[in-house]
Each structure stands twice: as C-alpha cells, then as structure tokens.
Chains A and B, each alone.
Chain A
C-alpha cells in the first residue's frame, strides 16, 4: 500500500516578477518521514516553505500538504502544522510566556503544561521579554511555539542556526520524540552533517529546482568514491578520466577528488605513479552535496 504524503507538489512554481523563486518543483515527503531539504543560500528552500504555508502565493502548479490543497484549504493545513522560520521575530513588548500563549491562543489550543516542560528542557526563562533575547533564545521560543500543540507536520527553516551544540542536541531530541509520536519533520538546512545524522530522506535543491530526492542511505551510496592520493599524481594526469570532481583546498597536501567513473581505469592510472599513501572511502553527504553543486 502506498504511504500517505505529508507534502506533495506538482510543478510548483513561484516567481517574483521576472526573477526566479522555484521552478516546476516536484517534491514528495511521506507522512512520518524525517526529511532534510538541502540547498545553498538563494536556492529556493525558504520560497518553497513559504509557498506551502500560503505566506506567498504560487505562480503555477499545485501542492497538497497533509492532503489539503495549499490554495483552497490553507487554514486546515496551518491548524495541523508547526512552523519555525529561519529568523523568528515576536511582538517586542511580550514576555516569553505571553508569546507562547499567544501562539497557542491563535490555534485555539491549550498546551501550557507542555510549554512549561519545553521551556525547562530548553533552559528558557518564561518571564524574559522577547526583545531582550538573543537570536538563539528567540529561536527556542519559536521551537516551543512550533511543537507545543503536537503538529502532524513540523516545517523548520534552518532551525539550528544560533543554537549552541548542547541546545542543538536537545532540539533534535525533541524533534525525534515528535517524529516517534507520528509527526512528519521537514527541515531545510545547509548543515549536511545534521541531515545525515537525523534524516531518513533528503532532497537537494539548486536554482529553484530539485536536483535529487531520495532516502539518505541511497544518496550516500551513489557509487561515488572519495579518493585522496599522496605522491607524484597531478590533476593533469587525471584529465583523461571522466567523472572526476576535485575537492582540494589550499591547505591540502595530497590530491583529493570525488570519482564516480570506472574504478579499474583509475587503478591502472595510479599503478604508473609513485604513491606514498592513498585512501578510497565513501564520501560524506556534504561532499556529495558539493559534488552536485559544483558540477
């Protein structure tokens, strides 16, 4: 039986006047998934999210969130979704607990106990004024507003920016708990390590288009190998091979590259060189990401 979809877009397009936002975006996220939405700045991650939530209007195409049409049934969607924007702002004179309660009131929900518990877990003083909070602490308030009502779908736009590593860990453990209880988690990020560590599925977006969308396990097993060679090998000698992306930076001593061509051809070429050391490993998601964006 096919799994229900939390997000399902068909040729979703959003353009701002003449400039590109997202183009013919086809994206599916299964209900209950922990999904990473990866892309560099300006790729269209926030535009996708803001279009799905109805903050901006689509130009063409269609999308359904939790089975509801994003144009016709916006309120139904928003009642089942929790959202954390990349930069969150609250009404300046409010105290933390007032902002959290206001969010619950807007949903017609009563979740003060849950909010209290989350404040404690995230080490947040509910009596502080939101205007006095740092970016990280504002984000914590946003996290509580997004999860306190146990949404069916949590959409988070670059959620960990501004959070210290301890808080990031606590934040992800809250997300894991929500996910275990049935919430679908959809978060955008350019921190690949966190996507690799927590997500079951991921999609790469570039220039407003989805490059690739799959299970993280499949994305990691692309057949691409990360090769590091110390010795006489130079870039020029590898020119004859296809499927090479050099990943050296200025500090690197050896020659580093991603290779997804015929491994036998590479080994034949290497056999003719004087090699001090060599490693051939699976690339990290970050290296795969760089490979896609640079090629």
Chain B
C-alpha cells in the first residue's frame, strides 16, 4: 500500500480544494434556499417556460420550490460538472504523471510489478473520489440541518450514488487514456468530461439524439428520472459501467507492455 499512500498524500491539497469548493458551493445554495423559497412561485414559472433550456436541465419535471427539486437541480449542476472534471483530472493523471514528471524511472526501478502499481493507483483514484464525495455529502447534510428543512434521504442517497458512479465511469475511462499518454492529458480528461456533459444536454433537447444517452455518463444522474422512478436508470448505467471497465482493462493491457520514458 506504499504507492496508494503516496498517491493520496501527494494529492491531498488538490483533493481538499476541490472537495471544499464543490461542497461549499452546494451548501451555499442550500443556505440560500429559505430566502428563495418565498419567490419560487415566479421562478418556477419562469424556469418551466424556457423551452429547450428547461428540458435540457430537467427543470420541466422537478419542482424548484421544494428543497428536493432545488437541491437536485442546483446541486446536480455543481456536483455534476465539478465532480466530473475532478474525476477526469484524477483519472487521466494517475499513470501519465509518472512519465510526465520523469519519476517513472525512479518508481519502476524498485521491486514493484506494473500490475501492482496500476492496482494501487486505481485504488488511490477510487479513494480520492470517495473522500471528495464524503466531504460534499457531509457539508450538504450540515447545510440542510442549518436551514431546518426536512431531509429527503432516499432521493439524496440515489442522487449522490448516481454522481459517484458517474465520476467513477469518467475516472475509469480517463485512467485507460492515461496509460497511453506521456504528457498533456489534462486537456483530454476535461474534454472527455465536458463531452459527456454536452452529449446529455443534446440528448435532452433533441428527441432524435436520444441514443446519446447510452453514451453519456450524465444520463443516469438525471435528477428528474431519479425522483420519478425512485431508482437509477439501469439502461444508461450498465453501458456506463461497461465503459469504465473497458477503460480499466485498457490501462492494464497497455501499461504492462509500455516502454517507459
């Protein structure tokens, strides 16, 4: 577990910053909710009459006037984009950074097999994403407790589970990409996350582009679907998990055969 410890240790500052930024932003939104609730009648009307924009963000099916609807739309945007970008950065840099920072020669001249290094790096990516989500959830619960609103445990659990799985999917895909790179992967990682996000928006706007939902990792984080069905959309989640597994397998296959620079 030496490498796992080192990986988490070397990224603790970034982890703290991202976790706090996402968590505090969501908590701030929640803290603003009581003030906004009184004006929600007009806001709801406005949001539900913005055509494609309304559809794109699922605001036609969620009530912005309840904390559940408000939390899942606002929190969904923050955690969706923030979490996806964070997972992409962590995933894409995991293997690539050893060659980018010229530390591969140091690490791999020690008696650790490449499989062991990949596995420990994969575990570090998982741990970092778990910690980030734990901080966000704790801050969210605290903020809900502060405003004294009723908890919506089931929806909240499903919402955070969906986002956690989405982050794992993006991290898994980016981890696979990471094995092929020797430098400059951040742009690719963020590009993958942004592409997934926009594919889902396009699929929400246009019926003819519905098939994109099977590709986008954001399709199973759709708050309106979670609230309506009381579960995660398996038809979108399963392909997503398959993409993640393919990414991880690609990382093992490529990195064990790679000539290190």
Binding site for B on A (CB under 8 A): 16, 50, 53-57, 74-76, 78-79, 81, 83, 85, 87-93, 102-103, 105-108, 142, 145
Q: Does B103 contact A (CB under 8 A)?
A: yes
Chain A residue nearest in CB terms to B102: A89
Encoded as 1 (CB less than 8 Å from any A CB) or 0, chain B from 104 to 115 comes to 111111111100
A80, chain B: closest CB distance, angstroms: 8
Task: Report yes or no: B6 in contact with A102, Cβ–Cβ below 8 A.
Answer: yes
What are 24 A-B residue pairs whose CB atoms fall within 8 Å in the complex? A53-B108, A54-B108, A55-B105, A55-B108, A55-B109, A55-B259, A57-B257, A75-B112, A76-B111, A79-B111, A85-B106, A88-B105, A88-B106, A89-B101, A89-B103, A89-B105, A91-B6, A92-B101, A102-B2, A105-B2, A106-B3, A106-B107, A106-B111, A142-B106
Task: Report yes or no: B260 in contact with A56, Cβ–Cβ below 8 A.
Answer: yes
B202, chain A: closest CB distance, angstroms: 40
Give the size of the chain B interface in residues (CB under 8 angstroms).
20
Contact residues in B for A105 (Cβ distance below 8 Å)? 2
Task: Report yes or no: A93 in contact with B106, Cβ–Cβ below 8 A.
Answer: no
Task: Report yes or no: B105 in contact with A106, Cβ–Cβ below 8 A.
Answer: no
Main secondary structure of the interface of B (DSSP, over half): loop
A199, chain B: closest CB distance, angstroms: 22
Task: Report yes or no: B259 in contact with A90, Cβ–Cβ below 8 A.
Answer: no
A158, chain B: closest CB distance, angstroms: 13
Contact residues in B for A89 (Cβ distance below 8 Å)? 101-103, 105-106
Chain B residue nearest in CB terms to A108: B111
B141, chain A: closest CB distance, angstroms: 32
Contact residues in B for A53 (Cβ distance below 8 Å)? 108-109
Q: Does B10 contact A (CB under 8 A)?
A: yes
Task: Report yes or no: B259 in contact with A57, Cβ–Cβ below 8 A.
Answer: yes
Which residues in chain B, 70-129, are within 8 Å of chain A measured between CB atoms?
101-113
CA distance A90 to B107 in the complex (A): 9
CB < 8 Å neighbour of A106 from B2, B101, B259: B2
A90 and B103 in contact, given A55-B259, A102-B6 (Cβ under 8 angstroms): yes
Contact residues in A for B101 (Cβ distance below 8 Å)? 89, 91-92
**9 cross-chain pairs, A with B, having the tightest CB-CB distances, nearest first:** A79-B111, A106-B110, A89-B102, A78-B111, A56-B259, A83-B109, A105-B2, A85-B105, A75-B111
Task: Report yes or no: A107 in contact with B10, Cβ–Cβ below 8 A.
Answer: no
CA distance A114 to B111 in the complex (A): 20
CA distance A128 to B108 in the complex (A): 24
CA distance A101 to B109 in the complex (A): 15
Contact residues in B for A92 (Cβ distance below 8 Å)? 101
CB < 8 Å neighbour of B260 from A16, A55, A145: A55
Task: Report yes or no: B104 in contact with A55, Cβ–Cβ below 8 A.
Answer: yes
Beyond known contacts A78-B111, A107-B110: 8 more, CB 8 A cutoff: A50-B105, A56-B260, A74-B113, A79-B111, A93-B10, A103-B106, A106-B2, A106-B112
CB < 8 Å neighbour of A91 from B103, B110, B113: B103
A129, chain B: closest CB distance, angstroms: 13
Chain A residue nearest in CB terms to B97: A91
